[in-house]
Structure 1
Amino acid sequence: MSNIVHNNERPDVLVHVADNVRERRQATGLSQQALAERAGVSRRMLVNIEKGDVNVSLNTLDRIAEALGVLFHVLVQPPDNPDSARINEIAWAGHSPQSHATLLASKPARHAVELWRWSLASGERYETSADSPGWHEMLLVIEGILTLHLPGETLTIEAGDFHVFPSDQPHGYSNDTPQLLRFMRNVLY
């Protein structure tokens, strides 16, 4: 996973994640070791997350949220913003400063819905493991061409087009063109 930190600065989202994970863990009475085991991460990783010293993958943060019994957005939103309708925090950044994913909002639906704005620079790729059964993603390409990588299948989605797929399988996004790629991503679970 690429690092969020650019120019030796710690972005606010790392501070929010650190504070939120630590506060939620302490509120549930879990030790760092117990939470690490529940979430399937190393204790060292959890210690670094709580210090705000490491960029955590979206998948790992999902597992920590699930282990804490909260939704993903609870861990990335600013603590003074209890309304998940508008989060607007960078939660992933690639090697290029033009590549990033911003969680715009998250609202409970049957379970929950997350709305993301993504940008990928030329040659950038993001891959993730399978989500839980029943999860889906809806992608809408705003600018450029998105290449969606699914097991045994690669799809090309052009600007103005969209695709919906079950995300309970490994998947990835790439920008295989020379121009910037911008797209919206809804995660439904």
Structure 2
Amino acid sequence: MSAGERTDVLACVGANVRRLRAASGLSQSELATAAGLSRRTIVNLEAGSANVSLSSLDTIADALGATFVDLVLAPAATPERIDALLWRGDADDSHAVLLGSAVAHREGQLWVWSLGVGDRYDANPNPAGWHEMVLVTAGRLRIERESGDMTLELGDHAVYGSAQQYAYVNAGSEVTRFVRVVLS
């Protein structure tokens, strides 16, 4: 991540923390106490200059009655397409990108799927409130949905409500592989 990307993410997180703290009527000191952090950390975070851990952001979100995504979501982003680089390790190849988020009430299921050339899977609608997150790891996947079709290329993802008719279709000339998370 470049210095500019780091600054943009920190500025966004800082603005969100400041907005949510003000909306909850907490002072910086009260938020710091509730989150088990120093007041200086909250001041610097709101100024966009503190680099806090992901677990500290979880703690701050909990203290604000918010979610992790509420803290990191950029103004132009949606929970379905966050695409935020939120962690960078010491090695150049070490990083974590939050792609998307959906609300879950009961459970999450992690699946690995494979579709041969020309194959498809037709699904029945899930109950209201269910969501799916799909990440293509090989090939090309078309998701045909009542709310509109989408074609995902290698490395692309989608987050959508699955309380609708939908189908997975191999839209390429090679085996399509994808990771699917079902949230109920």
Query: Shorter-chain-normalised TM-score: which range?
Result: 0.5 to 0.7
Residues 74 and 82 of structure 2 are in contact (CA less than 8 Å); yes or no, is this contact kept in structure 1? Answer: yes
Deviation at 1:112, TM superposition (A): 8.8
Q: How big is each residue's C-alpha offset from its partner over 1:46-86, in whole Å with a ceiling of 9 and x where there is no partner?
A: 111111112110100000000001110110010233x3111
TM-score using structure 1 length: 0.53
Larger Rg belongs to: 2
Name the structure 2 match of 1:36: 32
Q: Does 1:74 align with 2:70?
A: yes
Name the structure 1 match of 2:53: 57
Number of residue pairs the alignment of both structures matches: 117
> Counterpart of 2:52 in structure 1: which amino acid?
V
Runs of 4+ in 1 over 4 A off after TM superposition: 5-9
Name the structure 1 match of 2:95: 100
TM-score using structure 2 length: 0.55
Percent of residue pairs bearing the same amino acid type: 48
Can you give the 5+ residue segments of structure 2 that lack an aligned partner in the other structure? 111-136, 138-178
> Counterpart of 1:35 in structure 2: which amino acid?
L
Q: 1:35 to 1:111 in 2, by over 3 A?
A: farther
CA distance in 2, matches of 1:64, 1:89: 18
CA distance in 1, matches of 2:106, 2:43: 29
Q: How does 1:1-189 map to 2 (within 5 A)?
A: 6-7=2-3, 10-81=6-77, 83-110=78-105
Residues 7 and 48 of structure 2 are in contact (CA less than 8 Å); yes or no, is this contact kept in structure 1? Answer: no
Deviation at 1:101, TM superposition (A): 0.8
Q: Provide the alpha-carbon RMSD of the alignment.
A: 3.2
CA distance in 2, matches of 1:80, 1:112: 29
**Secondary structure, in 3 states, of the residue corresponding to 2:11?**
helix
Residues 20 and 79 of structure 1 are in contact (CA less than 8 Å); yes or no, is this contact kept in structure 2? Answer: no
